Amino acid sequence: MKSPLRQLVAIGALIVVASPVAAQTQKNAQSPWPQSTPAGNAPVEADQSNVDIAYGAYQRGHYITAFNEATKRAQQNDPAAMTLLGELYAQGLGVPRDDAKAAQWYKLAADKGNRDALFALAMFSFQGRAGASNPAEAVRFLEAAARLGHAGAAYDLGLLYLQGQQFTQDFRRAGELFTAAAEAGNPEAQYALGTMYKEGRGAPKDMSKAMRLMQQASIAGNLDAMVEFAIAQFNGDGFAKDEAAAAQLFLRAAHLGSPIAQNRLARILMAGRGLPADATEAIKWHMIAKAGGGSDPDLDIFVSKQTAAVREAADKSAKKWLSTVVTARP
């Protein structure tokens, strides 16, 4: 389930810590169910084969099978299965969407200490699904989920402390929560905590720690972290200098749609540092970056000095890339 906090708070929160890379908030929907089987959340007298069948069916998009198998497990008081039923009703997968039924299943699972159900209820309370919006109740659910080790809940609480929403702004507490979530492998928290170490706000300034966190988040696919880490790696700032590796990371981030990475890649291709110089590709990525709101007077001058044939080839390539991106959008 997507967190409304991450959509509404993340950009402002990360601006507060003065990140030089604008937050681009790449969010991925996550099932609440996979996290629901740590010690203390194991199904009571569970038949693991049924658990695997239900979750496997969910992962493959066989939602009716998932619903039927999860229903069997829920009847045996399995909180993981209850949480899955809540998710199916919440998303309208295999059954008609029904927020009231989703909330009922989430509450049953939450009463049994399921951290994912608690997180889902927090999102319902923030969004006003199955009742009026209740931020205070949502925070209580988040706190309960975070205490049980839910990384997303810890991250979202950190955002609230960072932004000063629901709580008095507290960078130190935000850093503690981001640390818990980052250590659990949450890439958004790794990026946020890395930014705090980089800026020395909420954590001691430490570029080495900052870039290690950025690297971890980058490997996990966080687009903002890719750009931050690539910049540091290209410049040798807090990490071993490696222009070739940085160029490859800029290329990856550029293809994922980061105007900052697209601009940096254009400069790399213009200068021939990290990648062979290529005027046509440099102009292409400059045009793509400009289409995304980026500007660069130096590259504009570079473009003006190229032959008409080079400019035309770059323009054609850029338009093809941009049209492909537009077609691929949902």
The pLDDT tens digits of the residues spanning 212-224 come to 999 999 999 999 9
CA distance 14 to 201: 11
Q: Are 201 and 167 in contact (CB under 8 A)?
A: no
Contact status, residue 211 vs residue 196, Cβ threshold 8 Å:
no
Q: What is the pLDDT of residue 130?
A: 85
> Does residue 149 sit in the same domain as residue 271?
no
Last residue of a domain, one of 193, 225, 241: 241
Q: Give first-to-last CA distance, the chain, whole Å.
A: 18
The whole-chain average pLDDT of the chain stands at 86
Residues 137 and 195 in one domain: yes
| Dihedral sign for Cα atoms in the order 143, 149, 153, 154 | positive
Q: Do 195 and 259 sit in the same domain of this protein? A: no
Residue 233 in any domain: the answer is yes
Identify the CA nearest to 284 among candidates 252, 244, 313: 313
Question: Apex CA 190: angle with CA 81 and CA 194, to 5°?
Answer: 165
User: What's the whole-number mean pLDDT along residues 97-101?
Assistant: 96
Residue 328 clears pLDDT 70, i.e. is over it:
no
Q: Residue with structure tokens 């492909």?
A: 324
Q: What confidence category does residue 53 fall into, taking pLDDT thresholds of 50, 70 and 90?
A: confident
Q: Are residues 250 and 221 in the same domain?
A: no
Percent of the chain with pLDDT over 90: 78
The amino acid occupying position 58 is: Y
pLDDT-derived band of residue 325, with 50, 70 and 90 as boundaries? Answer: confident
Q: What is the 3-state secondary structure (H, E, C) of 144-162?
A: HHHHCCCHHHHHHHHHHHH
Distance (Å, rounded) from C-alpha 249 to C-alpha 176? 29
Of 11 and 92, the one with more pLDDT: 92
239 vs 36 pLDDT, higher one = 239
For range 2-28, the mean pLDDT: 38
Between CA 193 and CA 198 the distance in angstroms is 9
Q: Please determine, for residue 20, whether its predicted confidence score (pLDDT) is greater than 60.
A: no
Q: Does 329 lie in the same domain as 281? A: yes
* Claim to verify: residue 10 and residue 22 sit in the same structural domain: yes
> Domain for residue 61, yes or no?
no
Say if residue 148 is in the same domain as residue 124.
yes
Domain boundary among 209, 241, 273: 241
Say yes or no: 163 and 224 in one domain: yes
- Mean pLDDT on 130-154: 95
The answer as to whether 214 is a domain residue is: yes
With bands split at pLDDT 50, 70 and 90, how would you rate the model's confidence at 330? low
Q: Which of 44-48, 78-82, 124-128 has the lowest mean pLDDT?
A: 44-48
Summarize pLDDT for 227-238 with one digit per residue, the tens: 999 999 999 999
How would residue 14 be classed by pLDDT, with cut points 50, 70 and 90? very low
Same domain, 217 and 276: no
* Residues 33, 52 contacting (CB under 8 angstroms): no
The dihedrals phi and psi of 202, each to the nearest 5 degrees, come to 85, -10
How much is the pLDDT for 64?
95
- In the 8-state DSSP scheme, what is residue 23? P
Does 86 reside within a domain? no
If one counts every other C-beta atom within 10 angstroms of the C-beta of residue 317, the result is 17
320 and 275 assigned to the same domain: yes
| Distance (Å) of CA 93 to CA 33, 61, 157, 287 | 14, 9, 29, 41
Q: How many angstroms separate the CA atoms of 305 and 278, rounded? A: 14
Tell me which of 189, 211, 241 is where a domain ends.
Answer: 241
CA gap 190, 199 in Å, rounded: 14
- What is the predicted pLDDT for the residue at 165? 80
Query: Which tokens hold the place of 209?
Result: 């720690």
Domain that holds residue 273: 242-330
How confident is the model over 110-139, as a mean pLDDT?
Answer: 95
pTM: 0.80
